[in-house]
């Protein structure tokens, strides 16, 4: 299971005083207000940044970090991911899972026959939809509804499903 989650991507510097604009990739952008630190993923290295100030502008989050007071201090952060540790993630209700924990799960039918692996999760207004890729590389989708999803066990790496008639024909 994933130990770190991406919560945003730095899109640009904001002004001249070291602030950055962040595109939030979390369900609740206001969670940034609860964070004291965040991890900057620099590719092959990571840097822990202390958050000094959080503001919201339209659909973006404006962050100010301790000790970074000039635009030149943050220019190298553009297009970099911001991560948090699992322990800092928002708690989930029973039956909810973090999307990164679902990617890669083996999907099996009611007889435990493998159907493929989850490669993506689409979030729609009605419900999430799991994109599953079979051994031949063909993709199909399974809606996250109680009639289809029988059991989800990320620790075991398995999701058991019931395929509604015609679901594989789409």
Query: Which architecture characterizes domain 4-87 according to CATH?
Result: Beta Barrel (2.40)
Kindly list the distances between the CA atom of residue 79 and the CA atoms of 25, 64, 111, 154, in Å, as whole numbers in the listed order. 13, 16, 45, 30
Taking only Cα atoms into account, the Rg of the chain, rounded to an integer number of angstroms, comes to 19
> What pLDDT is stored for residue 54 in this prediction?
97
Which residue has tokens 């950055």?
A: 20
Which residue has tokens 């904001």?
A: 14
Q: What is the pTM of this model?
A: 0.77
The reply to whether domains 4-87 and 99-169 share a CATH topology is no
Domain positions in the chain are: 4-87, 99-169
pLDDT in tens, 102-146: 999 999 999 999 999 999 999 888 899 999 999 999 999 999 999
**CATH class label, 99-169:** mainly beta
pLDDT in tens, 18-55: 999 999 998 889 999 999 999 999 989 999 999 999 99
Using a 10 angstrom Cβ sphere, with 0-12 exposed, 13-18 middle and 19 or more buried, the burial of residue 74 is buried
């Amino acid at each position: 299971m994933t130990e770190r989650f991406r919560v945003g991507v730095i899109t640009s510097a904001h002004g001249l005083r070291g602030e950055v604009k962040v595109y939030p990739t979390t369900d609740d952008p206001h969670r940034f207000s609860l964070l004291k630190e965040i991890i900057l993923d620099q590719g092959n290295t990571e840097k822990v940044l202390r958050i000094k100030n959080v503001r919201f502008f339209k659909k973006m989050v404006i962050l100010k970090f301790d000790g970074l007071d000039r635009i030149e201090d943050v220019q190298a952060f553009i297009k970099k991911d911001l991560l948090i540790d699992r322990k800092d993630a928002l708690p989930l209700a029973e039956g909810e899972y973090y999307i990164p924990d679902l990617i890669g799960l083996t999907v099996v039918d009611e007889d435990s026959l493998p159907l493929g692996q989850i490669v993506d999760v689409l979030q729609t207004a009605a419900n999430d939809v799991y994109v599953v890729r079979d051994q031949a590389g063909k993709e199909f989708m399974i809606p996250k509804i109680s009639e289809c999803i029988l059991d989800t066990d990320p620790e075991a790496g398995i999701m058991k499903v019931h395929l509604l008639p015609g679901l594989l024909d789409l």
